[in-house]
């Protein structure tokens, strides 16, 4: 790049002779502040940077408390009040400036978030600021945003959180011509909708199981507007309050011929509703049953002709004998943190499992038409027996992810009065305690890695990637790089097909004979 910039300084026309795609690729690595600086150098770079700057927009909305502070400051939070003022002015400018339409046409992705108390100002509350309306005519920012959105003629992906989706907001979405991906998190939907949108991807998440929103469940008209059978390809329904209503409504909409990916939470007594919906999804290739689902089996046999193209299953092991036999499933993720009996409820997902349950689930996976190449088990205690079961039952495994539970499993079929001592005896197998907190090494990522290097734990010989994480959290392993490298090299010599190892947020990968290391951020996990 240094030689390129030197050439540009000598010959300005050379900058214009390079393809625009090359410049766009170069500037795509810059931060926002650097893009603004580059855009000020010449007209060409301004046009290129403008496309990048406005392609993805994130708007943080101030709610009731913050908007009140703009006009009635109670605290010295100058920065937050300043951000809220600037946001209101920008939204006003975007809505009233004719030149802003060019910018809005560049927007491809818009994410709308919130800060402050998640309760919007009502009309009568806005009127108390009537003296300031000449300066801030749109004191309700989320209303201004939804007035602007229909002008984003090329907007494809919209993500909203903590928004009350009333009729006006819903009508704005229906007027967006190219919207194909909609993500709603903790949103209240009180509109009926008016026409079916052409959404390919829909994600609805709301994890609050207590104090459900004081609104009626989604209507049939709203469901028909959201979920278009002719266009929907990916669906995520993780609304713990209204998932049953969504499932029941989807069954009545019709067959979803193009749906390929489904992630859903299944409330108690609605497993049959899920299977009724699945019978109308012949193209489904990936199915995820959420951790918060109740465990049950269908009252009627699930035919092999249903979901014949399923290749990936993520859920608890009790449904493996139903979804895998006769289907080309090669990716399995076993959620072992559920009860293994049909008495489980939505509010009590954690319960009993032991190594025998894992072994049975692994055996059930063998009923798939294809050999399992990608396996995840969460949570998992990597005992010598359980690791040997993985190697014995799935010798062709290519990718393995284990989410290690850092505390002893008190339900492993041992005496509940003294589980810790018995578990320690069962897992010790001649290895010394090496953790200062009294934990056995097999409860730690570093201990599991050392056990693999020493041959106490075995891996499939064809394994290419290994991921070791702590259950429900990802932490960087504390061992120093030099010590890790020695262990990685020892494992690599025993398993030559292995080329990538994740240890919490630490990633090792091999290029030729050389192993490299990096620390990942959470966005990479």
DSSP sequence for 94-128: HHH-TTHHHHHTT--EEEEEEES-S-PPPHHHHHT
What confidence score (pLDDT) does residue 466 get? 97
| 456 located within any domain | no
Task: Note whether 174 and 76 are same-domain residues.
Answer: yes
What confidence score (pLDDT) does residue 409 get? 47
Task: Note whether 147 and 69 are same-domain residues.
Answer: yes
Low-confidence ranges of the chain (pLDDT < 70): 1-18, 32, 35, 50, 62-101, 115-144, 193, 208-214, 337-354, 407-440, 474-479, 521-525
Token pair belonging to 336: 């072992």
Task: Note whether 65 and 181 are same-domain residues.
Answer: yes
Contact partners, residue 26, CB within 8 Å, separation at least 6: 1
Q: State residue 410 phi and psi, 5-degree precision.
A: -80, 0
Task: Note whether 89 and 149 are same-domain residues.
Answer: yes
| 467 located within any domain | no
What confidence score (pLDDT) does residue 92 get? 60
Q: Name the DSSP class of 433.
A: P
Task: Note whether 13 and 88 are same-domain residues.
Answer: no
> For residues 48 and 23, is the Cβ–Cβ distance under 8 A?
yes
Q: Which DSSP string corresponds to 180-229?
A: -EEEEES-EE----SS----SEEEEEE---SS--SSPPPPHHHHHHH--T
Question: Could you tell me how many helices (H) and strands (E) the chain has, helices first?
Answer: 20, 18
Task: Note whether 28 and 151 are same-domain residues.
Answer: no
Q: Give the number of other CB atoms < 10 A from CB of residue 347.
A: 11
Task: Note whether 47 and 60 are same-domain residues.
Answer: no
| 75 located within any domain | yes
> For residues 351 and 339, is the Cβ–Cβ distance under 8 A?
yes
Interatomic CA distance for residues 37 and 171, integer angstroms: 38
Q: How much is the pTM?
A: 0.78
| 23 located within any domain | yes
- CA angle, residues 245, 251, 254, in degrees to nearest 5: 135
> For residues 225 and 170, is the Cβ–Cβ distance under 8 A?
yes
Q: Where does 116-185 show beta strands of DSSP type E?
A: 157-161, 164-165, 181-185
Task: Note whether 129 and 96 are same-domain residues.
Answer: yes
What confidence score (pLDDT) does residue 75 get? 52
Task: Note whether 174 and 140 are same-domain residues.
Answer: yes
What confidence score (pLDDT) does residue 433 get? 40
Query: The domain that contains 13 carries what CATH number?
Result: 1.20.1280.50
Q: Which domain holds residue 34?
A: 2-53
Letter string b/e over residues 192-223, b meaning 16 or more CB atoms within 10 A of that residue's CB: ebeebbebbbbbbbbeeeeeeeeeebbbeebb
Q: Is the dihedral of CA 70, 73, 74, 80 positive or negative?
A: positive
Q: Name the DSSP class of 238.
A: E
Give the CA count within 13 Å in the CB-facing half-sphere of 469.
18
| 357 located within any domain | no
Letter string b/e over residues 50-78, b meaning 16 or more CB atoms within 10 A of that residue's CB: eebbbeebebebbbbbbbbbbeeeeeeee
| Helix, strand, or coil (residue 41) | coil
What confidence score (pLDDT) does residue 139 get? 44
Task: Note whether 6 and 74 are same-domain residues.
Answer: no
Task: Note whether 40 and 119 are same-domain residues.
Answer: no
Q: Considering 147, 175, 191, which residue would you say is the last residue of a domain?
A: 191
What confidence score (pLDDT) does residue 42 get? 78
| 103 located within any domain | yes
Q: Could you give the number of structural domains in the chain? A: 2
| 278 located within any domain | no
Burial grade of 5 (CB within 10 A; 0-12, 13-18, 19 or more): exposed
| 61 located within any domain | yes
What confidence score (pLDDT) does residue 348 get? 44
Task: Note whether 41 and 67 are same-domain residues.
Answer: no
């Amino acid at each position: 790049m240094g030689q390129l910039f030197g050439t540009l300084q000598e010959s300005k026309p050379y900058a214009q002779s390079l393809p625009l795609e090359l410049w766009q690729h170069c500037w795509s690595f810059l931060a926002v502040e650097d893009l603004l600086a580059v855009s000020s150098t010449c007209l060409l770079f301004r046009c290129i940077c403008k496309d990048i700057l406005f392609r993805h927009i994130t708007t943080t909305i101030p709610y009731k408390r913050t908007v009140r502070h703009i006009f009635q400051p109670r605290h010295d939070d100058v920065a937050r009040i300043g951000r809220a003022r600037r946001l209101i002015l920008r939204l006003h400018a975007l809505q009233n400036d004719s030149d802003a339409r060019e910018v809005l046409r560049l927007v491809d992705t818009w994410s709308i978030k919130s800060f402050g108390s998640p309760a919007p100002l009502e009309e009568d509350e806005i009127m108390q600021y009537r003296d300031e309306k000449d300066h801030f005519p749109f004191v309700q920012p989320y209303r201004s945003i939804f007035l602007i959105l229909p002008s984003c003629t090329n907007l494809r992906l919209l993500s909203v959180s903590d928004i009350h989706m009333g009729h006006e907001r819903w009508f704005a979405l229906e007027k967006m011509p190219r919207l194909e991906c909609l993500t709603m998190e903790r949103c209240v939907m009180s509109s009926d909708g008016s026409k079916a949108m052409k959404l390919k991807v829909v994600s609805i998440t709301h994890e609050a199981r207590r104090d459900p929103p004081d609104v009626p469940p989604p209507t049939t008209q709203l469901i028909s507007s959201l979920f278009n059978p002719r266009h929907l390809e990916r669906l995520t329904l993780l609304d713990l309050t209204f998932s049953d209503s969504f499932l029941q409504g989807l069954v009545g909409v019709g067959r979803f011929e193009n749906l390929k990916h489904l992630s859903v939470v299944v409330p108690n007594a609605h497993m049959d509703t899920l299977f009724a919906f699945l019978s109308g999804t012949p193209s489904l290739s990936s199915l995820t049953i959420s951790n918060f689902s109740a465990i049950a089996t269908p009252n009627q046999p699930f035919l092999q002709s249903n979901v014949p193209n399923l290749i990936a299953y993520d859920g608890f092991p009790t449904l493996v004998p139903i979804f895998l036999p006769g289907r080309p499933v090669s990716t399995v993720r076993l959620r072992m943190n559920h009860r293994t009996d049909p008495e489980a409820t939505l509010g009590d997902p954690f319960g009993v499992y032991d190594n025998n349950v894992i072994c049975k689930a692994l055996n059930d996976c063998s009923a798939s038409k294809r050999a399992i190449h990608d396996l995840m088990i969460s949570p998992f205690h990597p005992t010598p027996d359980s690791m040997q079961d993985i190697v014995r039952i799935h010798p062709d495994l290519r990718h393995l992810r284990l989410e290690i539970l850092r505390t002893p499993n008190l339900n492993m079929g041992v005496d509940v009065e003294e589980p810790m001592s018995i578990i320690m005896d069962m897992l010790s197998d001649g290895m010394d305690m090496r953790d200062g907190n009294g934990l056995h090494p097999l409860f730690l990522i570093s201990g599991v890695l050392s056990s693999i290097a020493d041959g106490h734990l075995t891996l499939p010989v064809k394994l290419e990637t290994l991921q070791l994480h702590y259950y429900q959290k990802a932490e960087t392993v504390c061992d120093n790089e030099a010590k890790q490298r020695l262990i990685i090299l020892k494992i690599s010599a025993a398993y030559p097909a292995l080329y990538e190892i994740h240890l919490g947020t630490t990633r090792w990968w091999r290029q030729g004979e050389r192993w490299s290391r990096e620390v990942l951020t959470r966005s990479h996990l």
